[in-house]
Structure 1
Amino acid sequence: MALRGAAAACIGRHKNASLSLISIPNRLPRKPPQGFSPSLRHQAGRSVRAIQGATAEPVAPKKEDEGQSLQDWKIKMLYDGDCPLCMREVDMLRERNKQYGTIKFVDISSAGYSPEENQGLDYKTVMGRIHAILSDGTIVTDVEAFRRLYEQVGLGWVYAITKYEPIATMADAVYGVWAKYRLQITGRPPLEEILEARKSKGEMCNHGDKCKM
């Protein structure tokens, strides 16, 4: 009995000691590691909270080149922006082109018109008759130009018959008369006077960044 009691007492002391060792870390003061200041602890905690509270920003899609849309055109229309009758047709085609985006419109009457950017076609040449430029650089004129333009906006049937002879020749002849007298028909001065006025305006504008007229 004495041995059993002693053994029980010994086991009890050993058990209490084990429990004491296990509970020691909970009773020890929590000291920060050497060199870790309270301000650093505050900053670390704030960083963690910031990371936890941050929302994932959606990745912005790569913006396409702003000039990319200009590369999508299949035909370029050179038109006289000072011609009221011409502008009716241009406005109709431009409205249709909103759906297709295949025509690039270039106003030859604007001060910024550049022959170098349009297959070398100068103002006088383009004023003589309708010109259009395909995306591969091919120049088309007269009724063929209208046919190509209308085809690009789903109206190819309008000029479809002009593909065939003798209709093609007849259509070009009729258009040639219109092109020759269109300035008179629309109440504008002769081409020579327009060219002279354009030249004078250009000379005045060349004296500075702003035109004096």
Structure 2
Amino acid sequence: MQINNPEWPLTLFYDGECPLCLREIRMFEKRNGQGRLELVDIAEPSVEPLPGLTRANMLDCLHAQFNDGQLVTGIDATYWSYKSVGLGWLVVPLRWSWARPFWQWAYRQFCRLRPALARIVPMPGSDAAATCDSDRCSPGKKHD
């Protein structure tokens, strides 16, 4: 998706019950000095999905929306999230048109495997393991 003049801030909708997601969100929070990224936990019951989408749609892949309403998903949401916090250089390959089919395929594979991967990654800030049932993740119990 070509966006020439993004209207910041970018609102990133993430799964706050996923340990993998939370690790990245914590990094974004630390680097968001310019306030160009707003973070919304779509797993929170009080958060409404974007118009025309269900919560399941939004948890299935990353969604982000610019201040002017432009929506980006998947690898585009990843690219613009990193760019918003000054790390666009890390994800420049996501913008290479010749490589986009590969990156889109890789992203879908990651989304499919995310629940299984999250089972082995502890929640940030805890020594607890995460458990995932089907496509949903939740923090495990703290060990004594």
> Same fold by TM-score, threshold 0.5 exceeded?
yes
Equivalent residues, number: 118
Equivalent residue for 1:108, pick from 35, 42, 46: 42
Matched, 1:74 2:9: yes
Q: Given that residues 143 and 171 in structure 1 are in contact (C-alpha distance below 8 angstroms), is that contact kept between their aligned partners in structure 2?
A: yes
Task: Please list every run of 5 or more consecutive structure 2 residues that lacks an aligned counterpart in the other structure.
Answer: 1-6, 120-131, 137-144
Q: Matched residues in 2 for 1:130 and 1:138: separation? A: 14
Residue deviations 1:72-126 (CA, integer Å, cap 9, x gap) = 95211000000001100011011111x11011110011121112xx344321001
- Give the secondary structure class of the aligned counterpart of 1:113: coil
Supply the AA of the counterpart residue of 1:121.
L
Which residues in structure 2 correspond to 1:136-151 (within 5 Å)?
A: 136-151=68-83
Work out which of the two has the higher radius of gyration on C-alpha atoms and give 1 or 2: 1
CA distance in 1 between partners of 2:85 and 2:67 (Å): 16
> Superposed, which structure 2 residues align to 1:20-31 within 5 Å?
none
TM-score scaled by length of structure 2? 0.76
- With normalisation by structure 1, the TM-score equals 0.52
Q: Where in structure 1 are there 5+ consecutive unaligned residues?
A: 1-71, 195-213
Q: Does residue 157 of structure 1 match 2:92?
A: no
Cα pair 1:79 1:105 within 8 Å, conserved: yes
Query: Secondary structure in 2 aligned to 1:105?
Result: strand
Aligned structure 1 segments of 4 or more residues deviating by more than 6 angstroms: none
1:189 corresponds to which residue?
133
RMSD over aligned CA atoms reads: 1.6
Identity of paired residues, percent? 30
TM-superposed deviation, 1:170: 0.9
1:183-210, Cα deviation, whole Å (9 max, x unpaired):
122121113xx5xxxxxxxxxxxxxxxx
Tell me, in whole angstroms, the C-alpha distance in 1 between the residues paired with 2:86 and 2:118.
29
Separation in 2 of the partners of 1:185 and 1:150?
Answer: 22
Question: How do residues 14-53 of structure 1 correspond to structure 2 at under 5 angstroms?
Answer: none
Name the structure where strand makes up a greater proportion of residues: 2
- Structure 1 contact 128–179 (Cα < 8 Å) conserved: yes
Q: Taking CA–CA contacts closer than 8 Å with sequence separation of 6 or more, which of the two structures ends up with the larger relative contact order?
A: 2
Decide whether the 8 Å contact of 1:81 with 1:107 is kept in 2.
yes
Cα distance between partner residues in 2 of 1:73 and 1:123: 24
